[in-house]
Amino acid sequence: MPLRLDSRDPGFPAAFDALVNARREADADVSRDVSAILKRVRAEGDGALADYTQRFDRHDLDASGWAIPAAERKAALAGIPNSLRDALELAANRIATYHEKQKPQDSDAVDSAGVRLGARWRPVDAAGLYVPGGRAAYPSSLLMNAIPARVAGVERLAMVTPTPDGVINPLVLAAADIAGVGEIWRVGGAQAIAALAYGTGRIAPVDVIVGPGNAWVAEAKRQLYGVVGIDMVAGPSEILVVADGQNDPEWIAADLLSQSEHDPTSQSILLTDDAAFADAVAAAVARQIPQLSTAAVARASWDANGAIILVPTLVEAMPLANALAPEHLELAVDDPDALFALVRHAGSVFLGRMTPEAVGDYVAGPNHVLPTGRRARFSSGLSVLDFMKRTSFLSLDRAAIGAIGPAAVSLAEAEGLPAHASSVARRLVS
Amino acid sequence: MPLRLDSRDPGFPAAFDALVNARREADADVSRDVSAILKRVRAEGDGALADYTQRFDRHDLDASGWAIPAAERKAALAGIPNSLRDALELAANRIATYHEKQKPQDSDAVDSAGVRLGARWRPVDAAGLYVPGGRAAYPSSLLMNAIPARVAGVERLAMVTPTPDGVINPLVLAAADIAGVGEIWRVGGAQAIAALAYGTGRIAPVDVIVGPGNAWVAEAKRQLYGVVGIDMVAGPSEILVVADGQNDPEWIAADLLSQSEHDPTSQSILLTDDAAFADAVAAAVARQIPQLSTAAVARASWDANGAIILVPTLVEAMPLANALAPEHLELAVDDPDALFALVRHAGSVFLGRMTPEAVGDYVAGPNHVLPTGRRARFSSGLSVLDFMKRTSFLSLDRAAIGAIGPAAVSLAEAEGLPAHASSVARRLVS
């Protein structure tokens, strides 16, 4: 049974605090294993990749092929039903259009002191994209990770994916073709992340690594942060639905279950001002679960991590929503903008009764790679900026250095850095 | 003696590769120590802080005071020479003006499918600022770290700094007052980073931690990345000067030494097309070093990590510059823009003969917190964006979900996620 709370109960603050601070992330101590894998791939390169792939994915890379050729991707795209190809293309186009607007502006101007100042954005040279194998091989995630890199102008996009027993999901290959992925390597796990970061004989190193993965993949990215750029530290998915009693309880139940079905560690929370509606949603969830092919996962997640919280008014729900800083926030009311104005921390917000979170997972356009585990307090969803970097620049002439140089000399001397002072002062007396 | 290379020598590619891949970062195994400190501060809070401060900084926080009151900051500002106060204020104003232009635009628009899409930026609630104690207590760094947070609109700015033997640099206090820092806590090291990330009885937790520090501080930030946002993984400072023979060798020597004097691990490299000029710069460096109060550090750095590389033309220098992806890049030529067009990777670029890097350290405006150790390939200098986060949002009406919803249903079914499909499909039939 999910947690039931009422914000008017005397025990609420403590119970809500416990909910906010609950850690749903696996505590598995993978750190040492990952560290050993990274070290070995760095030292031994492709030999280590072949060995780990034999061990974990049960196939011989030399026999099955290290990379998947472009022809195989194109064949996969040609082989899927038209309706799916159309859906993937609609999604890809909408994602590209949304992300185009994220491209940053360069600046270059001379100020009143005669100093020319600016900033110039450029894409990274190469991005690596991790795509999980097996059950979590989602073509939608591939699009969400690859398209922002392409929009940023990244020239080389290298994908790695485990192919357990040599098998790969054709829908993923089709999505890779649509997204313009240039290379697909049949390696997965921490060893694939190491190969992308350090490079091997076959796989050239990349500058940024993105994409979801299991605990080993996530830990490998965390350990390599700084050697390469990474998208984010990702945790279990979560949704917070703020809904009044005017919603169809079946719709809201389906929205909650759309997170619960991802993983037993996922979290779905309903905040409502209507006790009868809360009961109706709970009943609808219980009714819908057995109808799902994902029932076992959805039930495990809902029972362990689901919550229904009753509040006197939905305005009073918003500080609770901000404390949870959810990955996904639905505002299922007639005037969602009034509540949205009170939102400080959320990865993505879904406004109104006709905007289920799942539409954003696939085809709406904004990225579905979003901060989890309260990280929306300080981080943002994946964007074009994750694949670009900014170079600031500066140019002074004799007059400009005359105007601002003396202050630099004073500060350098006060900081005890005489060569700093001298490099400016020599140009002042010229 | 610094390294001397000529790109026409047969051994050059190997020697240059070694230079590019040389690790100058301390290999000290601080990871376990830091991990223990973080754990203890998380569990014991202020008690652990008091104990570590007694042990490492040799003072009793209960006696010396945990926080530095605002009056003490104001007194420090009133007590410094007018010229220094003016220099700090000039720097602060120019930094604020430059960073104001980084504030991102929100977006909110309805597309042709009737889908409302947008993104909204908000500052984090609280930022933590680490300021080193002792020799590296630079007021300029404080301004560079604090002002972008203030420009972003961060409401709470908490500074931590060690005060060895209870002593603090009054110039740092003065800069803190100018920068609008709200709290100053007399704690340093990994324990201060832990306090900012987890919070203690006295120190409320923050969302983002920025600022330079020693190996323990850097490792603490790395380990807490994901619990909080951090600015970057920082390494030793570096400068690459691309200069033709028309420069004053004394100026270029001073520019090189302005990095060398920071730390023995700093790196200064000259790329030039003029062998006689290269010799003249080397001689000028040798002449200038003994005149510096920082001579010992500058000599150690220049001898161990300095390099002079001769190239046939400066255009041919640019691929080398991109491979080094330097933190600071000076282009000391008459037409720096022609070379700047060839720059792919650099933290900050200083254009022309009258733009020494040191002017950018203090008063020019762009941030001096920049990616080191070839990280300019994928990361950027500190900016207002490091203190903000973006929430995407979405709103559909009946027509809009009718237009794009069926594609979402197809993809959700293909991915084996029936609750995702159902949450969209229920709204289609209504």
A 10 A CB-CB count for A169 gives: 22
Task: Summarize pLDDT for B365-423 with one digit per residue, the tens.
Answer: 999 999 999 999 999 999 999 999 999 999 999 999 999 999 999 999 999 999 999 99
**Set B59, B183, B238, B328: catalytic member:** B328
**Nearest CA to B366 among B327, B311, B318?**
B327
Task: Summarize pLDDT for B292-341 with one digit per residue, the tens.
Answer: 999 999 999 999 999 999 999 999 999 999 999 999 999 999 999 999 99
pLDDT tens for each residue of chain A, 430 residues long? 889 999 999 999 999 999 998 876 655 578 889 999 999 999 999 999 999 999 999 999 999 899 999 999 999 999 999 999 999 999 999 999 999 999 999 999 999 999 999 999 999 999 999 999 876 679 999 999 999 999 999 999 999 999 999 899 999 999 999 999 999 999 999 999 999 999 999 999 999 999 998 889 999 998 999 999 999 888 889 999 999 999 999 999 999 999 999 999 999 999 999 999 999 999 999 999 999 999 999 999 999 999 999 999 999 999 999 999 999 999 999 999 999 999 999 999 999 999 999 999 999 999 999 999 999 999 999 999 999 999 999 999 999 999 999 999 999 999 999 999 999 999 997 6
Domain membership flag for residue B12: no
Residues A168 and A294 reside in one and the same domain: no
- DSSP 3-state of B48: helix
Q: Which three-class secondary structure string do you get for A204-240?
A: CCCCEEECCCCHHHHHHHHHHECCEEECCCCCCCEEE
Q: Which two tokens stand for residue A127?
A: 């991005």
A 10 A CB-CB count for A89 gives: 15
Nearest-angstrom CA–CA distance, A343 and A348? 11
Pick from A97, A351, A400: CB nearest B395: A351
* ipTM at complex level: 0.95
Which pLDDT belongs to residue A307? 97
Last residue of a domain, one of B191, B209, B230: B230
CB contact (8 A) between residue B389 and residue A380: yes
User: How many residues appear in chain A?
Assistant: 430
Domain membership flag for residue A58: yes
CB contact (8 A) between residue A349 and residue B88: no
Residues A288 and A373 reside in one and the same domain: yes
Which pLDDT belongs to residue A134? 74
Q: Give the pLDDT band of residue B61 (cuts 50, 70, 90).
A: very high
pLDDT at residue B25 tops 90 = no
CB contact (8 A) between residue B371 and residue A362: no
Domain membership flag for residue B5: no
Residues B69 and B139 reside in one and the same domain: yes
| Chain B residues with CB-CB distance to A293 below 8 A | 416, 418
Q: Which two tokens stand for residue B249?
A: 């060798």
**Nearest CA to B356 among A119, A426, A399?**
A426
Residues B306 and B329 reside in one and the same domain: yes
**Pick the residue with more confidence: B32 or B346?**
B346
Domain membership flag for residue B96: yes
- Which of B239, B342, B359, B377 to probe the A interface (max A CBs under 10 A)? B359
Residue with tokens 């008017």: A8
Which pLDDT belongs to residue A423? 98
> Number of C-alpha atoms within 13 angstroms, CB side, residue A321?
32
Kindly report the CATH number assigned to the domain that includes residue B95.
Answer: 3.40.50.1980
Which pLDDT belongs to residue B295? 98
Pick from B171, B364, B394: CB nearest A404: B364
CB contact (8 A) between residue A116 and residue B416: no
Residues A402 and A360 reside in one and the same domain: no
What percent of chain A shows pLDDT beyond 90? Answer: 91
What is the CA angle A182-A184-A185, rounded to 5? 140
Last residue of a domain, one of A230, A258, A290: A230
Q: Give the pLDDT band of residue B193 (cuts 50, 70, 90).
A: very high
CB contact (8 A) between residue B426 and residue A392: no
Which pLDDT belongs to residue A429? 75
What is the CA angle B152-B156-B157, rounded to 5? 80
**Helices assigned H by DSSP within B101-205:** 139-152, 170-179, 189-198
Within A179-323, strands assigned E span 183-185, 208-210, 229-230, 238-243, 267-272, 307-310
Nearest-angstrom CA–CA distance, B20 and A427? 31
Which pLDDT belongs to residue A37? 96
Domain membership flag for residue A388: no
Residues A251 and A371 reside in one and the same domain: yes
How close is the nearest chain A Cα to the Cα of B428, in Å?
9
Q: State mean pLDDT over B72-95.
A: 96
Q: Which two tokens stand for residue A149?
A: 């890199």
Q: Give the pLDDT band of residue B135 (cuts 50, 70, 90).
A: low
Which pLDDT belongs to residue A27? 54
Residues A269 and A342 reside in one and the same domain: yes
- Structurally, chain A folds into a number of domains equal to 3
Domain membership flag for residue A277: yes
Which pLDDT belongs to residue B215? 87
B328 tagged catalytic: yes
Residue with tokens 């918003």: A318
Give the domain extent around A291. 235-377
- Which of A82, A369, A411, A426 to probe the B interface (max B CBs under 10 A)? A411
Residues B71 and B89 reside in one and the same domain: yes
| Chain B residues with CB-CB distance to A91 below 8 A | 407, 411
Which pLDDT belongs to residue A233? 80
What region, left, alpha or beta, does residue B324 occupy, with left being phi > 0 and alpha being psi -120 to 50 degrees? alpha
Separation in Å, CA B314 to CA A128, B249, B280, B344, B376:
32, 17, 18, 15, 21
Residues B307 and B348 reside in one and the same domain: yes
Residues B337 and B297 reside in one and the same domain: yes
CB contact (8 A) between residue B294 and residue A400: no
Nearest-angstrom CA–CA distance, B141 and B106? 30
Q: Quote the distance between the C-alpha of residue A214 and its chain's center.
A: 14
Residues A95 and A192 reside in one and the same domain: yes
A 10 A CB-CB count for A166 gives: 15
- DSSP 3-state of B258: helix
Task: Give the residue from chain B lying closest to A31, CA to CA.
Answer: B223
What is the amino acid identity at position B345?
H
Domain membership flag for residue A360: yes
Domain membership flag for residue A212: yes
Task: Summarize pLDDT for B179-189 with one digit per residue, the tens.
Answer: 999 999 999 99
Task: Summarize pLDDT for A336-374 with one digit per residue, the tens.
Answer: 999 999 999 999 999 999 999 999 999 999 999 999 999
Task: Summarize pLDDT for A88-112 with one digit per residue, the tens.
Answer: 999 999 999 999 999 999 999 999 9
- Which of A108, A112, A353, A393 to probe the B interface (max B CBs under 10 A)? A393
Q: Is A415 annotated as a binding residue?
A: yes
Separation in Å, CA A182 to CA A67, A81, A178, A269, B143:
11, 23, 11, 40, 44
Which pLDDT belongs to residue A87? 97
Last residue of a domain, one of A230, A264, A287: A230
**Set B327, B330, B357, B368: catalytic member:** B327
Residues B124 and B200 reside in one and the same domain: yes
